[in-house]
A = this chain, B = another copy of it.
């Protein structure tokens, strides 16, 4: 990204690690829709910023204080790389270390991963070694897609056998669907209109699909839940309209768990009456893609244990030098794209 609205290749030197850091040689990366958000100016102006935050690679160099990694290790970095000593991390919210959303560094406060080499702060804490039985093209999904999607379920207070609606079945929503199953949901309802995504949602564990273009989502959810609404709604789109739906279809005592990035408008609207005039024991939870070595190790274990095959979401693959075409496909949602994988 050269500036808002403009992308292209740039030559930069290989980064140098500080005492606690590592530099990783990239092998595989994924394009995320938030890369497009960034290019359009979603996080403000940036100049000559390397994009990308989902990648795996091989350790190239480590700093003097790094103890657990050495050059040649095959590693995964979370999309979020927290400062682990920060008070926000000590408070249990490492994604907020260094300020609101401050753990989000790649392609935000420093260069991202769409490069032959990328820099990782606090390498011992932020890099996980990839088990031999997990190939790169699956491991790379742990960086953001699994971590964010699963978080939606984890923060949703899903009881074993509970009912869950997942609003939108893009890649994060699909992984939220998997997450709802992994958290014990007895009924998972996916809301989605694109046929290819509906189909994938079913393979990932959605019991029911509601097409919001042809059905009344609220009426259908009430019908499927005996009139009470779902225990948990995962908002995986980040629009005011889906958020309002989320409040409406959630039962008293239930949770709306947001994983969407809200990119527009001054306000997000809570429908007052459906919210029980502020007294329905409803909880609205939010979060940002948990990172860190432990998180990544656990997600890799999920993949190694064959609980989910995230590579089914890879609809397109390109070499790094085809990046501009790859970005266009992802950005314009061409050809039923779900995720575009880049090989280095």
Q: Is A71 an interface residue (CB 8 A)?
A: no
Q: Is A196 an interface residue (CB 8 A)?
A: no
Q: Is A186 an interface residue (CB 8 A)?
A: yes
| Chain A contact patch, size range | 35 or more
CB-defined contacts of A84 to chain B, threshold 8 Å: 84-85, 89-90, 125
CB-defined contacts of A268 to chain B, threshold 8 Å: 269-270, 272, 275, 278
CB-defined contacts of A283 to chain B, threshold 8 Å: 283-286
When A187-B305, A302-B161 are in contact, do A278 and B96 touch as well, CB less than 8 Å?
Answer: no
CB of B269 within 8 A of CB of A267, answer: yes
CB of A124 within 8 A of CB of B85, answer: yes
CB of B262 within 8 A of CB of A278, answer: yes
CB of B305 within 8 A of CB of A18, answer: no
Minimal beta-carbon separation of A208 from chain B (angstroms) = 10
Q: Is A182 an interface residue (CB 8 A)?
A: yes
Q: Is A199 an interface residue (CB 8 A)?
A: no
| Smallest CB gap from A86: residue in B | B125
Q: Is A135 an interface residue (CB 8 A)?
A: no
CA distance A183 to B183 in the complex (A): 5
Minimal beta-carbon separation of A268 from chain B (angstroms) = 4
Pick out which of these stretches binds chain B: A293-301, A309-317, A320-328.
A293-301
CB of B275 within 8 A of CB of A262, answer: yes
CA distance A273 to B267 in the complex (A): 8
Interface residues of A, Cβ cutoff 8 Å to B? 18-20, 64-65, 84-96, 99-101, 122, 124-126, 150, 153-154, 159-163, 179, 182-184, 186-187, 207, 228, 235, 238, 252-253, 258, 260-273, 275-288, 292-295, 297-302, 304-305, 307
Task: Give the top 7 A-B pairs by smallest Cβ distance, nearest first.
Answer: A161-B298, A85-B125, A186-B301, A93-B253, A96-B252, A90-B294, A284-B284
Known pairs A160-B183, A266-B272, A270-B270 / 19 extra A-B pairs, C-beta < 8 Å: A85-B122, A87-B228, A87-B294, A90-B125, A90-B293, A92-B92, A92-B253, A96-B276, A150-B184, A160-B179, A160-B299, A161-B298, A161-B301, A184-B302, A186-B302, A260-B278, A275-B286, A281-B288, A283-B284
